Structure 1
Amino acid sequence: MTGSSSYERDRTYITTRITADGRDGYPVEPGRYRLVIARACPWANRSAIVRRLMGLEDVLSMGIAGPLHDERSWSFHLDPGGRDPVLGIERLEEAFHRREPGYPSGITVPAIVDIPTGRVVTNDFERITLDLGSEWAAHQRDGAPDLYPERWRDEIDDVADKVYRDINDGVYRCGFAGSQEAYDEAYRRLWERLDWLEERLGGRRYLVGDTVTEADIRLFPTLVRFDAVYHGHFKCNRQKLTELPALWGYARDLFQTPGFGDTIDFAQIKAHYYVVHHDINPTGIIPRGPDPGGWLSPHGREQLGGRPFGDGTPPALPPASERVPPPAPDAVARRG
């Protein structure tokens, strides 16, 4: 919090990069690194999507922290014995402390860990996705899309910056506001930006150009969590996503695109927010709704044209160990 009771995210990250030429001391090498995510986390969701779209599953393994954590942050409580099977650690903080004993900043996902040393290389979530799409080019699958095309980069950066400031981080500014004034300002900015997106997406299939880009990958994780979490839990409740025709169609279009919806686990998402945020939800009760079945309903966005992967192709199915259950209608909710 700041003096005005506004929420301010700690943006201190380890900015070391894994590059093709290894200029930071960490060259791209198949099998050397492990991407650690949590299904619950929207910032980590971006990396999981890009890894899927680039087809890097065989060269960059992925560890999945569970949805629950305490003041020591993310742990591998879903893995057998409560340890990551590759890194052999119980908590992600162990990898941060091996990099810097007493690491003073947030233990965050996504993080990429150097397996031989057990040290975190980077947790710079914005740079990770850009580098997976570029520095790892020699190991990407045939047909991997270009998510950051040169001719659209200025527009992608502009849109992504607006989305980050007012929506990705904006929902947190609403949820963790320490005063009515701070909340009202965050709420205003959030809905002004969502209205802007609703208008922008009314006549175009994707945010920038006619293919999926980094801009879409940065917006989607917030939209997919909106009705399940942010609408009620973070008090972002002017409307539900399902009440915004263009954004709801756009979000379903992406969800049904290989590489997006197959990274989403609604049960883990809700477990994280409603159980971990004791100050917002002290009872720890997890709501049963909303019914996720609508994510698979027809969206009709094909009529706007565009090709999700451009000249590329869809990714293959995720490895069996990484598959998540598809959304299904909530039988309890339907029984009333």
Structure 2
Amino acid sequence: MNQQSSTVREHSTRGSYVTGGDFNRDTNYIEDRITKNGEAGLNGEPGWPVERGRYRLVAARACPWANRTVIVRRLLGLEDAISLGQPGPTHDARSWTFDLDPGGKDPVLGIKRLQEAYFRRFPDYPRGITVPALVDIASGAVVTNNFPQITLDFSTEWTAFHRPGAPRLYPEHLRGEIDRVNKRVFTEVNNGVYRCGFAGSQEAYDAAYARLWAALDWLEDRLADQRYLVGGSITEADVRLFTTLVRFDAVYHGHFKCNRNKLSEMPHLWAYARDLFQTPGFGDTIDFVQIKQHYYIVHEDINPTGIVPAGPELSGWLTPHGRESLNGSPFGEGTPPGPVRAGEQVSPGHGAG
């Protein structure tokens, strides 16, 4: 066995995802926050204040949790305040890598593996090296990987750097309902597809499958006569649901055995997903090639061959959705974001066009 194949085997992801019975996600994250007031860190370290150019968002295109942060950053116009590092679509048991960048290094942080930023903060960090992560550029140390809080803080703590016309993604008068919808969407849909895919027994799979489809049917009914999940314009709730829906037919339907039907066979959810996809800030962040490479190559437990499927056909994402007839407008009193920044565009042939 040569050195390269030995290294690949040593750091295989096999056994990392399907461990028997129910799949239980580790939701213990680095809970530091970057705030207007610069609150203290986890262990009493100096706080993390909002500062233009101080932090780098590391967010792989393939990951739905990271995709949320990329969408919100773009909708709010935070590109000049927070730079973006994008690892490649695959990783081994150690961490995400910057294999798409020249020399295999992030051009700002100068690291090959995201693991390095975690270890600079916590040398014995015991959990998974996850994206998204916000990294303090000067020290090279991770600040937080608490993805649900990151996007909320983008909306509420980084307001000084929002673009003119930025939408209100977490308006105060809707926060209670947004939080309630988000809780059900996370447990039953965002994480529900993973509970199906990583189930370690038939019983665990059957229970996860039933919960997932009960929630998707609830969403199908909810979106029958309203354009967005909460209120009359796009909110945090829509961002969180979209990143699962956009991966559904390409990955979750087959790879995770979520196959009662395709998203494209649910008329209201499919139209809703297309409406968002065609809204600036959503579909222009989606790289279907990287998405498929990530799931089908990394999850050795459920796809040991590593073969990446050629389908599905993607042109349907660009077909008319008809949701304009419902009350609501994408950005409320705001405006759409401008063109995608240079260096952040989805590669030609990787989108739906």
| 3-state secondary structure, aligned to 2:329 | coil
1:8-39 CA-partner distances (Å, limit 9, x unpaired): 00111101000111122111111110000000
- Paired residue type of 2:223: L
Corresponding residue of 1:217 = 239
Is the counterpart of residue 194 in structure 1 residue 194 in structure 2? no
Quote the Cα distance in structure 1 between the aligned partners of 2:128 and 2:72: 23
Is the counterpart of residue 86 in structure 1 residue 108 in structure 2? yes
Consecutive unaligned residues of structure 2, counting only runs of 5 or more, are: 1-16, 41-46
Residues 11-50 of structure 1: pairs in structure 2 closer than 5 A: 11-24=27-40, 25-50=47-72
Corresponding residue of 1:75 = 97
- Kindly indicate whether the alpha-carbon contact (under 8 Å) linking 1:39 and 1:64 is maintained by their aligned counterparts in 2: yes
Residues 155-304 of structure 1: pairs in structure 2 closer than 5 A: 155-304=177-326
- Kindly indicate whether the alpha-carbon contact (under 8 Å) linking 1:254 and 1:261 is maintained by their aligned counterparts in 2: yes
Quote the Cα distance in structure 1 between the aligned partners of 2:297 and 2:127: 23
TM-score, length basis structure 1: 0.96
1:121 corresponds to which of 143, 165, 168:
143
Quote the Cα distance in structure 1 between the aligned partners of 2:18 and 2:326: 43
Displacement after TM superposition at 1:3 (Å): 9.4
| 3-state secondary structure, aligned to 2:339 | coil
Displacement after TM superposition at 1:2 (Å): 10
- Kindly indicate whether the alpha-carbon contact (under 8 Å) linking 1:7 and 1:176 is maintained by their aligned counterparts in 2: yes
Quote the Cα distance in structure 2 between the aligned partners of 1:216 and 1:300: 17
- Kindly indicate whether the alpha-carbon contact (under 8 Å) linking 2:30 and 2:145 is maintained by their aligned counterparts in 1: yes
- Paired residue type of 2:255: H
1:275-307 CA-partner distances (Å, limit 9, x unpaired): 111111111111110011111110000000201
Quote the Cα distance in structure 1 between the aligned partners of 2:126 and 2:19: 22
- Paired residue type of 1:283: T
- Pair 1:249–1:116, CA change in 2 (3 A): same
Quote the Cα distance in structure 2 between the aligned partners of 1:3 and 1:59: 41
Residues paired across the two proteins, number: 329
Consecutive unaligned residues of structure 1, counting only runs of 5 or more, are: 330-336
Quote the Cα distance in structure 1 between the aligned partners of 2:343 and 2:70: 14
Corresponding residue of 2:4 = none
Corresponding residue of 1:327 = 351
Corresponding residue of 1:61 = 83
- Kindly indicate whether the alpha-carbon contact (under 8 Å) linking 1:293 and 1:327 is maintained by their aligned counterparts in 2: no
- Kindly indicate whether the alpha-carbon contact (under 8 Å) linking 2:249 and 2:263 is maintained by their aligned counterparts in 1: yes
Corresponding residue of 1:109 = 131
- Paired residue type of 1:21: N
Is the counterpart of residue 8 in structure 1 residue 8 in structure 2? no
Quote the Cα distance in structure 2 between the aligned partners of 1:128 and 1:60: 12
- Paired residue type of 2:351: P
1:165-203 CA-partner distances (Å, limit 9, x unpaired): 000000000000000000000000000000000011011
| 3-state secondary structure, aligned to 2:21 | coil
- Paired residue type of 1:84: D
Deviant stretches of 4+, over 2 Å: 1-4, 325-329
1:191-240 CA-partner distances (Å, limit 9, x unpaired): 00000000110111000011101110110000000000000000000000
- Kindly indicate whether the alpha-carbon contact (under 8 Å) linking 1:2 and 1:8 is maintained by their aligned counterparts in 2: no
Quote the Cα distance in structure 2 between the aligned partners of 1:230 and 1:249: 18
| 3-state secondary structure, aligned to 2:53 | coil
- Kindly indicate whether the alpha-carbon contact (under 8 Å) linking 2:90 and 2:293 is maintained by their aligned counterparts in 1: yes
- Paired residue type of 1:142: P
Is the counterpart of residue 143 in structure 1 residue 165 in structure 2? yes
- Paired residue type of 2:212: L
- Paired residue type of 1:11: T
Displacement after TM superposition at 1:327 (Å): 3.0
Displacement after TM superposition at 1:328 (Å): 4.2
Quote the Cα distance in structure 1 between the aligned partners of 2:165 and 2:268: 29
Displacement after TM superposition at 1:150 (Å): 1.1
Displacement after TM superposition at 1:4 (Å): 7.1
